[in-house]
Amino acid sequence: MKKKVIILLLIIIPFFQCSKKYELPPELIKPAGPLLKIEQLKKRLNSINSYFRFSEGDTSVLLTVTMDETSGNIYKQFYAADEDGNAIQLRLLNSGGIYQGDRFRLLLGGLTLICSNNMVSIDSVSIENNIVKVSSGHIIQPKSISMEDLFTATSFRDVDNLQSQFVRLTDVEFAAESRGKSFANVIARTSAEHKLGPCFGKTIGISYRDWE
């Protein structure tokens, strides 16, 4: 009888020892304040070279990813637009975890809004601490614009500013000096710069990077 009891204990004790409790990840708390829009964020900047730091517990903004890192042309950053169609660049602390078509709520507390050389971005965004995904798989359609539209608005505060927008340029072609050349070569670790424009008129420079 004693042998049976001993055997039973030897079986039960390891069973309980293997039962572990894992810590749950910290729960993101949504701020109680109203949702802001990108236009409202930009009004907090004083000049073309300034910054604004959001206080802890500040409100948030609802955005949809328009361009992510998977193309390999950008790294540790992505672009997103609000419901009004305004867009902004977001710089990540770590790469990955957010994709085109993701709709999310960006918790602004502790983040910094920066305007450098007229380019507006939100810096040091943490996927774990600042982003609450709402849904995924939204279809993103580019805005069809002309070369003239690109030069219409020059200030980030202009209503028709196209900064950080997902666009499709119409009636353009590669300039003669850019034809027949390759894009960025990931294997050879080379990037490329090309010129694009209409048959006659202004041209713009476009860049291809080798982040992947």
More confidently predicted of 187 and 205: 205
Highest mean pLDDT among 143-147, 198-202, 203-207: 143-147
Q: What is the pLDDT of residue 77?
A: 95
Whether the pLDDT of residue 82 is over 50: the answer is yes
Q: What is the pLDDT of residue 22?
A: 52
Whether the pLDDT of residue 66 is over 50: the answer is yes
Q: What is the pLDDT of residue 12?
A: 42
Whether the pLDDT of residue 137 is over 70: the answer is yes
More confidently predicted of 37 and 149: 37
Read off the pLDDT of each residue in 64-83 and give the average, rounded to a whole number: 91
Residue 3 identity: K
Q: 142-151 pLDDT, tens per residue? A: 999 888 888 7
pTM of the model: 0.78
